[in-house]
């Protein structure tokens, strides 16, 4: 096929479709014309792809068709069915598909926290490099416990929620660079290990675990999920497999965005537990039991709904009809 002659013959049709997609208001005749020209240009695109795949021309026609489809279909609004599908299919499927990433992060970080804490207990002199004896006494006998009851529960829950989601969002957003995520994880683990070792050494280990476990199990799991998803983004461009790097990043990025939206809800739950359950007058076993129930519910959610959706072929990505056309890459 003579590509120049083909372009010359059909340029007018493409320009007319482009003009229609840019009109602010469409009459009934205009809407019918868009559909008609959409089908024609789609045929032109198919012919060019199969006989003379010029990357720039394919890209132009693909974007033109995407605009025409969006204009003819109108703006899509979210519905309760969309939210239900996200909660029951897309979100758990993405969590299950990437389970080995965040489960590995979880195991490594928990083991590292206990190793660092154990080492600090065996080397008590190191404690003095973190704080003075007066500061340590203040932390052990007042600050650690009062942190959870110092503010009104509602405002404290909002504060915790925003802080934790900011940390999770950073793990996902910076995941493609890998090292910032590792730094955030190590910093978080070190903080927990240092405070934990100080509390245990001064005979307040029961207070430490009694206050941190009710909300901490779900909260830290969310952070580990975010870190695992972020590291999966990094690996998508390091080793994209049969996909191009751009396509791999696009697919994993869309799934990561969905996971971040789901984490908003999970971190809200952990924030409510931290604000209303952790400082409550409930016995320690009851508070930890509530934390275990929340963590168990999350894991059950992932390994039932997520596993079922994953086995049906769901990945957590957008539906194919919602992704638009792939941007062509010159060979």
- Check whether 328 has a pLDDT greater than 50: no
Last residue of a domain, one of 17, 51, 73: 73
pLDDT at 1: 66
Q: What is the pLDDT of residues 195-206, one digit of tens each?
A: 999 999 999 999
Quick one: pLDDT band at residue 233, thresholds 50, 70, 90? very high
Among candidate residues 23, 47, 73, the one where a domain is terminated: 73
Environment class of residue 239 by beta-carbon count within 10 Å: exposed (0-12), middle (13-18) or buried (19+)?
Answer: exposed
Residues 120, 134: Cα–Cα separation, whole Å: 19
In the predicted model, is pLDDT for residue 325 greater than 50?
Answer: no
328 occurs within a structural domain: no
E strands in 46-150: none
Residue 227 shares a structural domain with residue 271: yes
Q: Is the dihedral of CA 225, 103, 108, 161 positive or negative?
A: positive
Judge whether 327 lies within some domain. Answer: no
* Sign, CA torsion 264/92/257/249: positive
Q: Given this model, what pLDDT does residue 331 score?
A: 42
Please check whether residues 40 and 66 belong to one and the same domain: yes
Span 159-177, pLDDT tens digits = 788 888 888 989 998 998 9
Residues 88 and 60 in one domain: no
Q: What is the pLDDT of residues 245-285, one digit of tens each?
A: 888 888 888 889 899 999 999 999 999 999 999 999 999 99
How many other CB atoms sit within 10 Å of the CB of residue 139?
A: 19
Phi-psi region of 324 (alpha: psi -120 to 50; beta: other; left: phi over 0): left
What pLDDT is attached to residue 74?
Answer: 56
pLDDT digits (tens, 9 = 90+) for 123-150: 888 887 888 889 899 999 998 888 888 7
Beta strand extents in the chain (DSSP E only): none
Domain identity same for 93 and 133: yes
- The answer to whether residues 135 and 253 belong to one domain is yes
Q: What's the structural domain count of the chain?
A: 2
Question: Residue for token digits 């430490």?
Answer: 208
Query: What domain range includes position 17?
Result: 3-73
As a whole number of angstroms, the distance between CA 151 and CA 155 comes to 7
Does 265 share its domain with 302?
A: yes
**CA 99 to mean position of chain CA atoms:** 13
Q: What is the DSSP letter of 74?
A: -
Q: pTM of this prediction?
A: 0.73
């Amino acid at each position: 096929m003579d590509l120049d002659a083909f372009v010359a013959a059909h340029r007018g049709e493409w320009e007319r479709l482009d003009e229609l997609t840019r009109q602010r208001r469409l009459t009934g005749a205009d809407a019918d014309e868009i559909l008609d020209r959409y089908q024609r240009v789609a045929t032109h695109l198919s012919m060019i792809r199969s006989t003379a795949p010029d990357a720039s021309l394919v890209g132009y026609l693909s974007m033109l068709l995407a605009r025409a489809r969006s204009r003819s279909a109108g703006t899509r609004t979210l519905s309760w069915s969309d939210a239900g599908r996200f909660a029951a299919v897309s979100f758990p499927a993405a969590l299950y598909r990437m389970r080995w990433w965040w489960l590995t992060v979880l195991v490594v970080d928990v083991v590292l926290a206990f190793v660092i804490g154990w080492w600090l207990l065996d080397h008590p002199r190191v404690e003095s490099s973190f704080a003075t004896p007066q500061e340590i006494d203040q932390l052990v006998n007042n600050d650690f416990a009062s942190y959870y009851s110092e503010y009104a529960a509602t405002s404290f829950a909002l504060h915790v929620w925003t802080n934790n989601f900011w940390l999770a969002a950073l793990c996902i957003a910076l995941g493609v660079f890998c090292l910032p995520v590792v730094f955030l994880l190590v910093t978080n683990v070190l903080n927990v290990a240092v405070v934990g070792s100080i509390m245990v050494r001064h005979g307040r280990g029961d207070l430490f675990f009694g206050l941190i476990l009710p909300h901490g199990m779900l909260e830290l799991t969310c952070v580990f999920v975010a870190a695992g998803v972020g590291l999966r983004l990094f690996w998508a461009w390091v080793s994209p497999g049969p996909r191009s790097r751009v396509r791999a990043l696009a697919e994993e990025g869309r799934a990561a965005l969905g996971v971040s939206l789901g984490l908003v809800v999970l971190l809200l739950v952990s924030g409510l537990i931290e604000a209303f359950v952790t400082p409550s007058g409930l016995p320690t076993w009851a508070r930890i039991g509530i934390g275990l129930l929340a963590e168990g519910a999350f894991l059950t959610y992932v390994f039932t709904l997520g596993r079922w959706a994953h086995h049906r072929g769901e990945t957590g990505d957008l539906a194919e009809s919602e992704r638009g056309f792939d941007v062509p890459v010159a060979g």
